[in-house]
Amino acid sequence: MVLRFKDDAALKRALGAGASKVAIAKDETVRRRRMNKLEQAYAQDVLEPLRLAGEIRDWKFEAIRLRIFEGSQDVKPCAYKPDFLITRPDRSMEFHEVKGRRHDGGIVRLKACADVYEGFRFALCERDRCGAWRTSWLS
């Protein structure tokens, strides 16, 4: 959910006394990326049929940001935002990353997340030239 406020005073009233310490962005506090055509196709072709069949409980687009590396004095922190968070009927969670073609940087971050967050399953989902979806499990 995105909360929008007309001015800084309205935001401060909503946040209360601690608002002076909060960085305030006018008119838009949270920015979310929209799904591209491939991600829309994956949601429509794969995730929604699974949800309707009861194989998954729910799915959300870019619902969480995973921190891979805290950072240090010389190195910036590194985080990763998987495309889809999938909740199974047993309430276990898995993350799906949709790629049209292999991007080394994204795959390296996905593998790093699979190593750091061992309790979750990570999948790389690609669509081949025929339109069929292929899933590679990393954990």
Residue whose C-alpha is closest to residue 7's, from 52, 19, 87: 19
12 and 41 part of one domain: no
CA 45 to chain centre: 19
We report the CATH number of the domain holding residue 94 as: 3.40.1350.10
| DSSP label of 20 | G
- Give the domain extent around 11: 1-31
Confidence at residue 20, expressed as pLDDT on a 0 to 100 scale: 41
Mean pLDDT of 33-37: 89
pLDDT value at position 32? 65
Residue 28 pLDDT > 90: no
Do 104 and 122 belong to one domain?
yes
Three-point CA angle 117, 123, 126, nearest 5°: 150
For the chain, where are the alpha helices, taking DSSP H only? 8-15, 37-42, 48-53, 104-116
User: Which residues, including other chains, have CB under 8 Å from residue 28's CB and lie 6 or more apart?
Assistant: 2, 4
Structural domain total, the chain: 2
> What is the per-residue pLDDT across 62-109, written as a single tens digit (0 to 9) for each?
999 998 888 777 778 888 899 999 999 999 999 999 988 777 777 888
Instruction: Give pLDDT tens digits for 102-137.
Output: 777 778 888 889 999 988 999 999 988 888 999 999
For residues 26 and 40, membership in a common domain is answered with no
pLDDT category of residue 9 using cuts at 50, 70 and 90: low
Mean per-residue pLDDT, 15-31: 44
Residues 46 and 100 occupy one common structural domain: yes
Mean pLDDT of 4-23: 51
**Same-domain pairing of 8 and 40:** no
Residues 44 and 65 in one domain: yes
Q: Are residues 81 and 119 in the same domain?
A: yes
Same domain, 17 and 71: no
Whether residue 107 is found in the same domain as residue 65: yes
Asked if 66 and 56 touch (Cβ cutoff 8 Å), the reply is no
